[in-house]
Structure 1
Amino acid sequence: MKKHVGLRSRLAATAAVSVLAGGSVVFGASPAAAAACGASLSVSTAGASAAWDVACDAGHIRVVGWVKDTDNDGQCARVRVEYANGDKWYSPRACPKGTKVSFGSPWSSTRSQIINAYLYEFDV
């Protein structure tokens, strides 16, 4: 149970940014970063950091970026992408401390040009 509580607290600590179609940035309390086509986001937790771009092409959307473990706490870092159609994808894990992993999620043919992406840490 401790693993779940740690994950929730880490998710709650994640910076949240919603990028709207008009290009404005709104900070919120959600652990997710909702982003539209062309958005570039950078987020961090106490033990991880990540940055990604949202790419769109011919009605498809994907996330391309990197994730890094920044703390020697026995946890790994990962990015979770949620598409509007309900599909989820997880980046490769980054650990131990100092490990940085590049990733590119698969293209989704969802009609929505918005995705939700989360940076989180988990026990290994």
Structure 2
Amino acid sequence: MRTKHIVMSAVAGVALAFGATAGTAAADSGEAGTPGVLGACPDTGNEVRVRGGYAEWDITCEGGKVYVRGYVKDTALDGKCARVKAKNMNSSTTKRKSACGFGEARKFDFNLGKGKGAKVYLTVT
């Protein structure tokens, strides 16, 4: 899989202050330090890593519906959970999956309904 370059909101703010621009693949969830991917169909090979969590996912469209498929993994002994949140860009449909406990990985297969893309975030809480 190819690796997506994800911009954390804090880093993006510093980069923008110095005149650099973030790529269109990055989306700000509104939560400091939360990387996200804004993807139109198809957007495959997304790999996101944050302290304590890792996730891979593909965004696809089939029959006019948006699907996000992949897995999320807890990578730290910190008592927190790695969480993926996916939201349909065209509606309020949102799905979530969590992996809690060091080394735990959970697969997900989200049907987000009618649309052509999704915003997907990885957090550790």
The two structures have a TM-score, normalised by structure 2, of 0.70
Q: Hey, what's the Cα distance between the residues in 2 that align with 1:52 and 1:107?
A: 14
Deviation digits for residues 33-89 of structure 1, max 9, x if unmatched? 101112121101111000001121121111000000000011011100111212111
Q: Which residue of 2 aligns with 1:57?
A: 62
Q: Which residue of 2 aligns with 1:118?
A: 121
CA contact (8 A) 1:13 1:45 kept: no
Q: Which residue of 2 aligns with 1:67?
A: 72
Counterpart of 2:85 in structure 1: which amino acid? R
Q: Which residue of 1 aligns with 2:95?
A: 89
Counterpart of 1:36 in structure 2: which amino acid? A
Q: Hey, what's the Cα distance between the residues in 1 that align with 2:74 and 2:43?
A: 23
**How many pairs does the alignment contain?**
100
Which residues in structure 2 correspond to 1:5-16 (within 5 Å)? 12=9
Q: Hey, what's the Cα distance between the residues in 2 that align with 1:29 and 1:39?
A: 14
Deviation of 1:32 after TM superposition, in Å, equals: 2.0
> Please, which runs of 5 or more residues in structure 1 have no aligned partner?
1-10, 15-24
Where 2:77 maps in the other structure, the secondary structure is coil
Counterpart of 1:52 in structure 2: which amino acid? W
Where 1:120 maps in the other structure, the secondary structure is strand
Q: Hey, what's the Cα distance between the residues in 2 that align with 1:90 and 1:121?
A: 13
Identity of aligned residues (%): 30
Query: Superposition RMSD on alpha carbons, in Å?
Result: 2.3
Q: Which residue of 2 aligns with 1:80?
A: 85
Which residues in structure 2 correspond to 1:16-35 (within 5 Å)? 26=24, 28=26, 30=28, 31-35=35-39
- Please identify runs of 4+ aligned residues in structure 1 that moved more than 6 A: none
Deviation of 1:108 after TM superposition, in Å, equals: 0.8
